[in-house]
Amino acid sequence: MVTRKQFEYQSLCLTRQTTIFENERSFILSTKMPATRIFTKRNLVRYFTGASVFYCVAHTVACHVGELVICSGPSMHPTIHDGDLVLAERLSINSGNIHRGDIVGCLSPHEPDQLLCKRIIAKESDPVNCELLPNMRVPRGHVFLQGDNYLASTDSRHFGPVPVGLLQIRLSLRIWPVSRFGWLSNHWFWEAEDVRRDVKNKTSTTRFYPRS
């Protein structure tokens, strides 16, 4: 026969065990990692929004400020070699702040999808002397372009002066290779010199390939 005190004691022990069990169960449940959904609608919206903003900013910078280009071709040797990585800017072209001696990227008059690398030899009203324009002056709104390796370059001596509107970029700084790191344009020298050349036509060109 169970006395009243024994019954109360057993009830108290059972209550304590139940409380401990519930506390342990709660602790176990609380330590489990909550289930997360990685590809939620909100995350996807944030991802595509960020990607769109980045693309718009990069595209705006490339179109109006500048970009990195890789040069290929022999017509600008020894100034520029194959594989040189060059920083090109558009601000000078867009503002019309171009000088003799600047190295520019120009759309080919015959193949508009190609970007040629040449140096500005003469600006409008400057005298030039070549087979195409013997003892003539550069027309208004045009520039006369020529490769530094003028024996292996197709330039204004063959297709004539080009409109300023075809100029796209100005090469300003060579980044790679590191051993040849430095500025490219030295228009101060060309502004002080009257450079005139009369050589035979060649067919080589230097072209740009935007870095991906």
From first to last of its 212 residues, what are the pLDDT tens digits of the chain? 556 555 555 555 555 555 544 554 454 444 545 555 566 777 777 777 777 777 677 666 666 667 889 988 888 988 999 899 999 999 889 888 899 999 999 999 888 888 999 999 999 988 888 777 777 889 999 999 999 888 888 899 888 899 999 999 999 999 989 999 988 866 544 554 444 444 333 333 444 344 33
Which residues in 177-201 are b (16+ Cβ under 10 Å) and which e? eeeeeeebbebeebeeeeeeeeeee
**What pTM does this model have?**
0.64
**Residues designated catalytic:** 75, 118
Q: What is the pLDDT of residue 20?
A: 45
Residue 208's pLDDT is 39
Per the structure, the count of domains in the chain is 1
6 lies in some domain:
no
Which residue's structure tokens are 């390796």?
149
> Domain span at residue 186?
66-210
The span from the CA of 116 to the CA of 87, in Å, is 15
- Answer whether residue 98 is part of any domain: yes
Instruction: Mention every residue, 6+ apart, whose C-beta is less than 8 A from residue 196.
Output: 127, 128, 129
Q: Is residue 47 part of a domain?
A: no
Q: How far is CA 49 from CA 36, 43, 45, 56, 61, in A?
A: 22, 10, 6, 11, 18
Contact 117, 131 (CB under 8 A): no
Q: Look at the block and give the residue holding tokens 């090109």.
A: 88
Residue 46 lies in a domain: no
Q: Is residue 189 part of a domain?
A: yes
Domain membership flag for residue 152: yes
Note the pLDDT of residue 13: 57
- Whether 41 maps to a domain, the answer reads no
In a domain, 55, yes or no: no
**The CATH number of the domain where 171 resides is what?**
2.10.109.10
List, in sequence order, every residue forming a beta bridge with 120; answer none if it has no partner.
145
Residue spans of alpha helices (H) in 122-185 = 156-159
